[in-house]
Structure 1
Amino acid sequence: MGRIKFGTSGWRGILCEDFIFENVKVVTQAIADHLREAGEAEKGLVIGYDARFMGERFAHEAARVLAGAGIPSFVCNRDTPTPVIAFEILRRATAGGINFTASHNPPEYNGLKFSPSWGGPALPETTLDIEKRANAMLGHICYKEMPLDQAVRAGLVEEIEPKPAYFEAIRKLVNLKAIADSGLVVAVNPLYGTARGYLDTLLQEVGVKVVTMNDHRDPYFGGLPPEPSQSHIPDFIKLVAGNPEIRLGLATDGDADRYGIVDGDGTFIEANYVLALLFDYLLRHGKTGNAARSVATSHFIDAVARHHGVKVLETPVGFKFIGEFIRDDKILIGGEESAGLTVRGHVPDKDGILACLLVAEMVAVEGKSMKDLLCDLYDRVGEFYTRRDNVKLSPELEMSFAEKLATPPKELAGKKIAEVITLDGSKFLFDDGTWVLFRKSGTEPVVRVYGEANTEAELDRLMKAAAQFIGV
């Protein structure tokens, strides 16, 4: 039996291999024990799940284990977006939440994500404690289970509908009326996931014309991972490009915590650009505050911050670190290159629904396409081009890679290295503001290489030099 290991956003595994009922029950008991020791168990937990196979069953099994431990749970009545679960944790002031989701991973995966009482993804010290407790119990019957009907009668399990309260909160954060008044026609693609009936409905309620696709539940996600990246949504890009009436395409991933934006001509707009555009838009329209981004995210947003006289805070990879800044009201907006984003006054977790709606508001209010808005911003702060390559390592290169990073060179690609940032991986920051980041995978012999330059040609040259530095 494999050991339980939490990654950047929970424990994930392949269904019927390591993600099985027995392991789910053990991890649930570990969470119960963690909360009991912290003195928070009586507050209960929100339990949710995404559109994957067996989501309801996993949620109900977790509720039965919690009930056996005397801990109340509030179980969502259908597959529910991750940000909605985070919002419900805060609204009900529970001890946290258990969310059965593998987010944008392929359909054979499922996962268990624990969020503490502050609503963001659990920090490493919390997940390490849960891991330790769970692994000590693997192979043993260490929990009690209460039949679900008995738990309901005892008041330990309650079915909930979290949508109305979340909708009310979103209406305060987004100018939906401006979107409707602009006459903007929007395409929406929830990728068969949890945003069905959320993103489309919020727009339709105010009279926005919405064209939807992939808006039914499909645990296979149409045969592709439910990730709204350019390579995974060709049908959506074709729909938007082929319909002259549609001015904007909005997509979300399987649990609606990530977003994908398609301009009216079918151009996919990278998350790095979206983050910078939205930060600039919010600051130009009366909002104030700093921003936060992960170490792997473009410095485009840094240029926006300098232009407006504010700051950008850099975090390790993992939205939980950005969530801390939102929790503590230290930033206006936080985001990462992998399409996670949230804003002040909202949940300290990624919200793809909110991100899509803010983009729609920006396009509606500015009366320009995403490409035109990007060109305008380039004119004010300069151009940025960012890329990530995955470099596979031979056994020999894997052995030598750590040693190379331990003694970094003075220059790379003919550029002087001004600073080496080791917040998460090794980031070589050059004296001209360009950079390259090396992050070794914790599970496979792969180095993720991120780079940024001011022209595409310069980026190509930098990425080739980075690969040569590794030895490939």
Structure 2
Amino acid sequence: MIKFGTDGWRAVIADEFTFENVSVVSQAVAEYIKSEDKLRDGVVIGYDNRFLSEKFARKAADVLVSNGISVYLCEQAVPTPVLSFSVVKHKSFLGIMITASHNPYEYNGYKIKMDCGASASQEITKAIESNLNKVSPLIDEKELSNVIYINPKNEYIEYVKQIVDFENFKKADFEIIVDNLYGPGAGYITDILSETAIKVTEINNYRDPLFGGVNPEPLAQNTPELLEMMQEEKSWRVGIVLDGDADRIALVNSQGKFISAQETFVLLLEYMFAVKKKQGAVAKAFNMTRMLDKLAKKYGINLIETKIGFKYLATYLINKEVILAGEESGGYGTSMHLPERDGVFNALLIIELLALTNKMPEEILQSVMQEVGSYYYSRIDISTPDSKVKDAVMNSLLSETIREFGSIPVKEKIEFDGIKFLLENDGWILFRTSGTENLLRVYAEGRSEDNLKSILNSGKTYVERFIKT
């Protein structure tokens, strides 16, 4: 069954994600465009490095152009945010990105972008879903030559060089390393910084539809080569990891230690408010670090907390209500740019921060922790036999009076996007269910690594007693 999730439709290639189903979805998109009378505004289509992505993209283009819709098709794989940029540049009505982002290699997906570059709203995806199989996919051989091929890479590079303070990059002289996880972000950071003295080393910068045997998600376990190289050489100021479609980012410090997505957001906040002296509000997802609350108080920032998922954060960016927004999975957006996650652009902000401060990322984080205290974050995903077990755990958490986690007393229980327990030492633990899998996600933050481990283990123990029974 074809169904759009929080950011598009994703499915296993040759199972549900087939040329036939891509045609069905594309015809549904065409019917939506017709209903909005936007045929001339048209669509930009991009794709990533996954197996057959370029052919799925061409199939979508064929259906749309056969329906009389103007179509721009990227002639090579591009990052998702570059597709979003191109939608805005061409003043198109929608964008389509063939990608499954950070999902395993056997998946592919179909993302839809609005004219502002952000992911399609729920109203749009519901309207498209309602059109599925209403009309058989149209292929008109006479129209196929009307697809216009574009290469938006150079335009994107010139655009981002204009919206960052590029002179600050020209003054810098250090080395960085980028792990592209075999995605379409390869070469972008190198090309952007080619006129500077910053030396860029890139690894995993070629197409491998199997992603080297790992999920293309920017997590420590998926970047063993990068971590080993940085721990041995120690010549790079920072390591940058881009995910499978380059809309998310992770960092590694100069000693080869992985920097959490929570800490990366702290670095971006320091860039905006401590270094660039910006003014404005910040939006964070419900599972983000308490360090942000402390820093918001320090800088007099209005801090907005949203449900988990970038679509909730993007609403504030679209409406220009915040200048920075971030989520736990490494997706960040700023008002300087599109209302969209962009791993390449956020990497540039981090590089500029290091250039302006002349510090290592760990030095900046250490300075922040000396001021607001130390916080350590992690998450575990626990498989459950079925949805009944998930529901039983959540119902018990909601109804039961739980007095402690990891020997730390519970201060408050919050039901918002999951069930969150605030602890007396300013730590917390959050339980959420996956909407698509039989999984319970347990997020936690502690005041030391041992404290974090204890909190997470107690949460895991709580969940597992329902599985065993």
What range is the shorter-chain TM-score in? over 0.9
Counterpart for residue 164 of structure 1: 154
Task: State the distance in 2 between where 1:254 and 1:466 align.
Answer: 31
Counterpart for residue 415 of structure 1: 409
Structure 2 counterparts to residues 374-385 of structure 1, below 5 A: 374-385=365-376
Unaligned runs of 5+ in 2: none
The one of 180, 188, 191 equivalent to 2:181 is 191
Is contact 2:172–2:196 with CA below 8 Å preserved after alignment?
no
1:222-251 Cα offsets, whole Å, 9 max, x none, are: 222222211111111222222243222122
Cα offset for 1:300?
Answer: 2.0
Is contact 2:44–2:92 with CA below 8 Å preserved after alignment?
yes
Is contact 2:317–2:335 with CA below 8 Å preserved after alignment?
yes
**In the alignment, does 2:438 pair up with 1:445?**
yes
Task: State the distance in 2 between where 1:408 and 1:170 align.
Answer: 51
1:307-344 Cα offsets, whole Å, 9 max, x none, are: 10112211222212211111111111111111111211
Structure 2 counterparts to residues 36-435 of structure 1, below 5 A: 36-134=34-132, 136-137=133-134, 142-147=136-141, 150-153=143-146, 157-284=147-274, 285-395=276-386, 397-398=389-390, 400-409=392-401, 411-413=403-405, 415-422=409-416, 424-430=417-423, 432-435=425-428
Percent of residue pairs identical: 33
Is contact 2:380–2:442 with CA below 8 Å preserved after alignment?
yes
- In structure 2, give the amino acid aligned to 1:177: E
TM-score (norm 2): 0.93
Is contact 2:182–2:211 with CA below 8 Å preserved after alignment?
yes
Secondary structure in 2 aligned to 1:286?
Answer: coil
Is contact 2:398–2:419 with CA below 8 Å preserved after alignment?
no
1:44-81 Cα offsets, whole Å, 9 max, x none, are: 01100001111111111111111121111111111001
Q: Judge which range, 322-331 or 78-87, deviates more.
A: 322-331
Secondary structure in 2 aligned to 1:39?
Answer: coil
Task: State the distance in 2 between where 1:121 and 1:204 align.
Answer: 31
How many pairs were matched up? 461
Task: State the distance in 2 between where 1:411 and 1:96 align.
Answer: 50
Unaligned runs of 5+ in 1: none
Is contact 2:66–2:143 with CA below 8 Å preserved after alignment?
no
Counterpart for residue 23 of structure 2: 25
The two structures, once aligned, show a CA RMSD in angstroms of 1.9
Counterpart for residue 470 of structure 1: 463
Q: Judge which range, 51-60 or 121-130, deviates more.
A: 121-130
1:419-471 Cα offsets, whole Å, 9 max, x none, are: 4132x222233455432211111232210011112222332232233234435
- In structure 1, give the amino acid aligned to 2:206: H
Residue 411 and residue 40 in structure 1: after superposition, are their counterparts in 2 closer, same or farther (change >3 A)?
farther
Secondary structure in 2 aligned to 1:42?
Answer: coil
1:335-388 Cα offsets, whole Å, 9 max, x none, are: 111111121121111100011111111112111111111110111222211111
Residue 351 and residue 449 in structure 1: after superposition, are their counterparts in 2 closer, same or farther (change >3 A)?
same
Is contact 2:23–2:60 with CA below 8 Å preserved after alignment?
yes
Residue 106 and residue 397 in structure 1: after superposition, are their counterparts in 2 closer, same or farther (change >3 A)?
closer
1:92-124 Cα offsets, whole Å, 9 max, x none, are: 221110000011112211100011222111222
- In structure 1, give the amino acid aligned to 2:267: L
Q: Judge which range, 448-457 or 394-403, deviates more.
A: 394-403
Is contact 1:90–1:118 with CA below 8 Å preserved after alignment?
yes
Cα offset for 1:405?
Answer: 4.0
The one of 447, 459, 464 equivalent to 1:454 is 447
Q: Judge which range, 291-300 or 19-28, deviates more.
A: 291-300
Is contact 1:412–1:466 with CA below 8 Å preserved after alignment?
no
1:184-217 Cα offsets, whole Å, 9 max, x none, are: 1111221221112211111123232112222122
Cα offset for 1:33?
Answer: 1.5
Cα offset for 1:398?
Answer: 3.4
Task: State the distance in 2 between where 1:38 and 1:188 align.
Answer: 42
Is contact 1:185–1:208 with CA below 8 Å preserved after alignment?
yes
- In structure 1, give the amino acid aligned to 2:8: G
TM-score (norm 1): 0.92
- In structure 1, give the amino acid aligned to 2:450: A
